[in-house]
Copies of this chain bind each other. A is one copy, B any other.
Amino acid sequence: MKTNDVCDERCINEDAVREVKEKMLPEEIFSHVSDDFKIIGDPTRVKILFALSKKELCVCDLSRIIGMTESAVSHQLRLLRNRNMVKFRKEGKMAYYSLADSHVIHLIKMGVQHARE
């Protein structure tokens, strides 16, 4: 029979574990960070953001540019909106979308540059 104690010590670097553990950040930080990256972890959304970095566009235009249905684009725009990555203004029936700030597209441009090597 095996003792099933709290301290199941056979791990080697006791102090390395403690040292790094102390430096770890709160759970929410990590999930916040991963959520931020997750949203640019989808090709459709990358395309949308890239397109919007060139020009303010309506849903209809976007759907033609990236070759997806307006519904699909609209769903993705909602996610981007919820994460404050895009903003929009209404003009009659249309909704013109643009980037919320340049922070995101900066990341994407880095990614693109990295992808091209």
Quick one: which of A65-117 are within 8 Å of B by CB?
Answer: 65-66, 94, 103, 107-108, 110-112, 114-116
Given A17-B61, A30-B43, A60-B11: A111 and B54 interface contact (C-beta under 8 Å) = no
Q: A39 to chain B: which residues have CB within 8 Å?
A: 41
Given A34-B41, A37-B40, A42-B34: A64 and B111 interface contact (C-beta under 8 Å) = no
Given A19-B55, A46-B34, A111-B33: A61 and B24 interface contact (C-beta under 8 Å) = no
* Bound CA–CA A45/B23 (angstroms): 16
* Bound CA–CA A71/B50 (angstroms): 37
In the assembly, how many copies of this chain are there? 2
Q: In the complex, what residue of chain B is closest to A28 when comparing beta carbons?
A: B115
Nearest CB of chain B from residue A32's CB, rounded to whole Å: 4
* Bound CA–CA A107/B45 (angstroms): 19
Q: By the criterion CB–CB under 8 Å, are B20 and A58 in contact? A: no
Q: Tell whether A6 is near chain B: CB-to-CB under 8 Å.
A: no
Cβ contact of A30, chosen from B11, B20, B31, B47, cutoff 8 A: B47
Nearest CB of chain B from residue A13's CB, rounded to whole Å: 5
